[in-house]
Amino acid sequence: MPDPTNRQIVLRHRPKGLIDASDTEMISAPAPRPADGEALVRMTYVGIDAAARTWLNDQPGYLPPVQLGEVIRAAGIGEVVESRCDAYSVGDVVTTLSGFQEYAIVRDDIFCTPVTDEVDQLAVMSIYGPTGATAYFGMNDVGRPKSGETVVVSAAAGATGSVAGQIAKIAGARVVGIAGGPDKCRAVVDDFGFDACIDYREDDLPAALKRHCPRGVDVYFDNVGGPILDAVLGRLAAKARVVLCGVISSYLTGEHPGPANYVNILAKTATMQGFNALDEWGRFDEAFAALRGWEQQGLLVHRETVYEGLESCVDALNGLFTGANIGKMLVKVGEPTPL
């Protein structure tokens, strides 16, 4: 039989702001054949994360920029269809940095993780992967919420924010979300169980923070930076912890203005710390075991926004910056084998 066709989306130009159709190109070629020590994975879902937009800029970060002509980088999940690697058998489900493509080569390395339990693939992408690990380590290791404290989470309707807020609720904190639009705010409260949600598009943010956090903010899990970070810094409680997870407000522009209210960190003897979940790679099993237990107890839920077809990957990535998603943004590129 001929090799299956592998469609890929490659980068042609460095985008300015949202990705334009001319910045990428869909190409097709026969799927690669695995060499010794490799396996071929048929992708089923590609995860769409805001960080993927930063990789399209010609600036170094914790991963190198995507080069012109390369497949746009993204994390995905799929099923092994051919293997010449002892670590994987045909039929195994794995997560990997697949990129925007329908087939990917994997090796037995840090970039590929077998899914050892029979878990719905949507749940893996939403909770039992880097998204869930980011929420777990950021909230538990840096935020350290305690019973009775007030926790604020920005981008609370998104993949990481929704899980981080639920972890704070499990710890016994009062949790206030910040999101854009009534539908997202409704989901934050009704679906994800936050105590309240502030609509930053409609509300006076400092006034709303004062109303919902009368004793101040003990933990702030920040996914956006910019004016929202500045407003929450102005409402910190004594000994507050600020968790820097993402800066989605400036990923499109590349400009990161410093917050004027940073002096309140000094006044409140607070801390502000960034983190990278990949630094805790050796503890991912710990994170997933805790997350699994909470989900089985009904304490943790997940939602997804799913686009159809590889050709919708760029629209889905742009959608993260126009408010198109609730929960994890995914693109379905193949049909998963039923459990």
Tens digit of pLDDT for each residue in 16-55? Answer: 999 999 999 999 999 999 999 999 999 999 999 999 999 9
Mean pLDDT of 195-222: 97
Domain boundaries, the chain: 5-125+303-332, 130-278
| Sequence-ordered list of residues with C-beta below 8 angstroms from that of 256, at least 6 positions apart, any chain | 225, 247, 250
Q: How far apart, in whole angstroms, are the C-alpha atoms of residue 245 and residue 152?
A: 13
Confidence of residue 253 (pLDDT cuts 50, 70, 90): confident
- Residue given tokens 């503890």 in the structure block: 283
Number of helical H runs and strand E runs in the chain: 10, 15
Ordered DSSP codes for 261-322:
GGHHHHHTT-EEEE--GGGGGGGHHHHHHHHHHHHHTTS----EEEEESGGGHHHHHHHTTT
The pLDDT score that the predictor gives to residue 159 is 96
How many other C-beta atoms lie within 10 A of the C-beta of residue 119? 16
What average pLDDT does the structure give for the chain?
95
Confidence of residue 201 (pLDDT cuts 50, 70, 90): very high
Name the class of domain 5-125+303-332.
alpha beta
CATH of 130-278, one of 3.60.90.10, 3.30.365.10, 3.40.50.720, 3.30.420.340: 3.40.50.720
The pLDDT score that the predictor gives to residue 62 is 78
Q: How far apart, in whole angstroms, are the C-alpha atoms of residue 60 and residue 54?
A: 9
Q: How far apart, in whole angstroms, are the C-alpha atoms of residue 330 and residue 76?
A: 9
The pLDDT score that the predictor gives to residue 2 is 63
Q: How far apart, in whole angstroms, are the C-alpha atoms of residue 165 and residue 167?
A: 5
- Helix, strand, coil: what percent of the chain each, to 5? 30, 25, 40
Model pTM score: 0.93
Q: Which residues pair with 5 in a beta bridge?
A: 30
**CA-to-CA separations, 258 to 262, 293, 312, in angstroms, rounded:** 8, 39, 34
Q: How far apart, in whole angstroms, are the C-alpha atoms of residue 201 and residue 179?
A: 8
Mean pLDDT of 1-24: 92
Q: Where are the alpha helices (DSSP H) in 59-177?
A: 121-126, 130-137, 159-170
The pLDDT score that the predictor gives to residue 56 is 95
